[in-house]
Structure 1
Amino acid sequence: MGPLPARLSVVTLAARDIRVLLSFYRALGWPELPSSDDGWSAFLLGGVLFALYPLPDLAAEAAPGVSDSAGGWSGVTLACNVDSRAEVDAAFAAAVAAGATVVAEPTDRSWGGRSAYIADPEGNRWEIAWAGTARFDERGALISFG
Structure 2
Amino acid sequence: MGSLPSRLSVVTLGARDIGALRSFYRSLGWSELPASDDSWSAFLLGGVLFALFPLPELAAEAAPGVPDPAGGWSGVTLACNVDSREEVDTAFAAAVAAGAVVVAEPTDRPWGGRSGYFADPEGNRWEVAWAGTARFDERGALIAFG
Alignment partners' CA distance in 1, 2:8 and 2:136:
13
Tell me the secondary structure at the aligned position of residue 74 of structure 2.
coil
Tell me the secondary structure at the aligned position of residue 112 of structure 1.
coil
Q: Is 1:113 the counterpart of 2:113 in the alignment?
A: yes
Q: Would you identify which runs of 4 or more consecutive aligned residues in structure 1 move more than 2 Å?
A: 28-31, 44-48
Alignment partners' CA distance in 1, 2:103 and 2:85:
19
Aligned to 1:91: 91
Count of matched residue pairs: 86
Tell me the alpha carbon deviations over residues 68-90 of structure 1, each in whole angstroms, 9 at most, x when there is no partner: xx852100000000000000000
Tell me the secondary structure at the aligned position of residue 123 of structure 2.
coil
Higher relative contact order (CA 8 A, sep 6+): 1
Q: How is 1:1-146 mapped onto 2 (pairs within 5 angstroms)?
A: 45=8, 72-146=72-146
Stretches of structure 1 lacking an aligned partner (at least 5 in a row):
1-27, 32-43, 49-69
Tell me the secondary structure at the aligned position of residue 91 of structure 2.
helix
Tell me the secondary structure at the aligned position of residue 89 of structure 2.
helix
Stretches of structure 2 lacking an aligned partner (at least 5 in a row):
10-46, 49-69
Shift of 1:144: 0.4
Alignment partners' CA distance in 1, 2:4 and 2:8:
11
Shift of 1:106: 0.4
Alignment partners' CA distance in 2, 1:105 and 1:72:
19
TM-score, length basis structure 2: 0.53
Alignment partners' CA distance in 2, 1:131 and 1:119:
21
Alignment partners' CA distance in 1, 2:72 and 2:120:
12
Shift of 1:29: 8.1
Identity of aligned residues (%): 84
Tell me the alpha carbon deviations over residues 77-127 of structure 1, each in whole angstroms, 9 at most, x when there is no partner: 000000000000000111101100000000000110000000000000000
TM-score, length basis structure 1: 0.53
Alignment partners' CA distance in 2, 1:86 and 1:78:
20
Alignment partners' CA distance in 2, 1:105 and 1:29:
37
Alignment partners' CA distance in 2, 1:133 and 1:45:
20
